[in-house]
Amino acid sequence: MEKILNYIDGKLIEPASQKYLDNFEPALGTVYSQIPDSDATDVELAAISASKAFRSWSNTPKEKRSAILYRISELILENLEELALAESRDNGKPVSLAKKVDIPRAAHNFRFYSTAIIHFASESHSMEGGVINYTLRKPIGIAGCISPWNLPLYLFSWKIAPALAAGNCVVAKPSEITPMSAFLLSKICIKAGLPPGVLNIVHGLGHKVGSAISSHPNIPIISFTGGTKTGETIAKIAAPMFKKLSLELGGKNPNIIFADCNYEKMLDTTIKSSFANQGQICLCGSRIFVERPIYERFKKDFVEATKKLKVGDPKADTTNQGALVSQVHHEKVLSYIELAKTEGGKILAGGLPLDLSHEGLNGWFLQPTIIEGLPYNCRTNQEEIFGPVVTIMPFDQEEEVLMYANSTQYGLASTIWTQDLSRAHRMADQIHAGIVWINTWLLRDLRTPFGGVKNSGVGREGGFEALTFFTEPKNVCIQF
């Protein structure tokens, strides 16, 4: 059985403990590889190697850093098939989705930051009396990057690429549930000529490896993507150490559909925004609010289209939905469906686990689920489920739906469907969310700042914003 290894000081090595954890394939429900059960000792080794590499990497000309990052992006694309299969085996997502979205986007992240760093400029302000103020932007040192399982390489590279481009060294931890593509990335980095110690990848559990990274005294900057509770734990450790923190956390995103929308486009996109990646994208719209005049029509068409989604073998090209990421997560999502029933919800589609054992698939499948009849403020409509489960409800007034939309502790993303330009702008202005999509979903220029408000996080990733985050400003004031 394949053993994943840590990537420390440019080498692939075993964890200090010599212990390993099982890595499950969600579609089959069986173990397919072993992952290092690393701990603080491995993080210490990684931090030492990163700090040894920092002086040289931070002084490496931008063009050279850029060329290495660009080469990594090329190698990711050259290894697209292998990486997509690895992501699917780790995560349960359709291989076709990983091939189309996850892996190209991971390559794009490296490509984007390889060029962004060349164009990144700092500011200068002149004052009367012969005074110039200018801001130097210096790499900080070692960045700790911790990422989740839902878009494994995509989100991992979204942190690592800007941190490295800005001249930092990195100690990174992928999710223990989806470690394989990060392992393949370490091989790619070796091949691309990334100097030893510049990027270190330590595999293992959150409370061991993640917490050793967040509490390490020589890792002054933490970029985390994951659950809101974990973000809170990390903030409690990192804040008193005055670490620079970026937290990209959970969501409970509204999808608001007005009667004047482009109906076909809305319906097609709403299927995707509800169930893509088994609903396990932080940006999925899990609360669907529909203006009353089209509510019954939407309900009928949406249920019909959802029932047509093919749930099955992630390796088959015809599969729309694969398996949920783990047994624990499967149970959690099912428990929310049970909760919804006790709260008065009516299941319009799905609601049940899917037994595909006759196809040799003994993993964690779930029918895409639509629930109606729940009040906006019940737990099902307030807590993040993070699975193929959406609620639908009608509304009459703009103010009413704004109140529903803004009623949760979260504020990550939102979608609005309307042809009324003024209303679109009005709603965008009033919604509490870091991202507002109007008549589209998941479309994004990587130059824009990305992140949530309220309990969906603090700090912004993306564009030059991330390069600003991964550097520290030093203001110099000179009078001549």
Active site residues: 248, 282
Of 98-106, 248-256, 353-361, 366-374: span binding ligand NAD (CB under 6 A): 248-256
User: Per CB under 6 A, does 414 bind ligand NAD?
Assistant: no
41 burial level (CB within 10 Å; 0-12, 13-18, 19+)? middle
Query: Closest separation between CB of residue 226 and ligand NAD, Å?
Result: 3
As a whole number of angstroms, the distance between CA 426 and CA 403 comes to: 14
Determine if 20 is a binding residue for ligand NAD (CB under 6 A): no
143 is a contact residue toward ligand NAD (CB under 6 A): no
Q: How far apart are CA 150 and CA 173, in angstroms?
A: 14
Give min distance, CB of 411 to ligand NAD, in A: 10
23 forms part of the interface with ligand NAD (CB under 6 A): no
Q: Does 210 bind ligand NAD (CB under 6 A)?
A: yes
Q: Give yes or no for residue 384 binding ligand NAD (CB under 6 A).
A: yes
Binding-site string for ligand NAD from residue 461 to residue 480, where x marks contact by CB under 6 A and - marks none: --------------------
| Residue among 370, 412, 416, 435 that touches ligand NAD (CB under 6 A) | 412
Q: Which whole-number Å values give the CA distances from 476 to 59, 132, 270, 465, in the listed order? A: 20, 8, 51, 21
The answer to the question of residue 176 lying near ligand NAD (CB under 6 A) is yes
Q: Tokens in use for 145?
A: 């990057």
The rounded distance, in Å, linking the Cα atoms of 282 and 34 is 27
* Binding residues for ligand NAD, total number by CB under 6 A: 31
Told to check if 91 binds ligand NAD by CB under 6 A, we report: no
Stretch that binds ligand NAD, among 12-20, 265-273, 370-378, 450-458 (CB under 6 A): 450-458
Site for ligand NAD contains 286 (CB under 6 A): no
Q: State yes or no: residue 214 binds ligand NAD (CB under 6 A).
A: yes
Euclidean distance between CA atoms 287 and 405, whole angstroms: 8
The verdict on 233 binding ligand NAD (CB under 6 A) reads yes
Query: For residues 218 and 31, is the Cβ–Cβ distance under 8 A?
Result: no
Which residues contribute to the site for ligand NAD (CB under 6 A)? 146-150, 155, 173, 175-176, 206-207, 210-211, 214, 225-227, 230, 233-234, 248-251, 282, 384, 386, 412, 452, 456-457
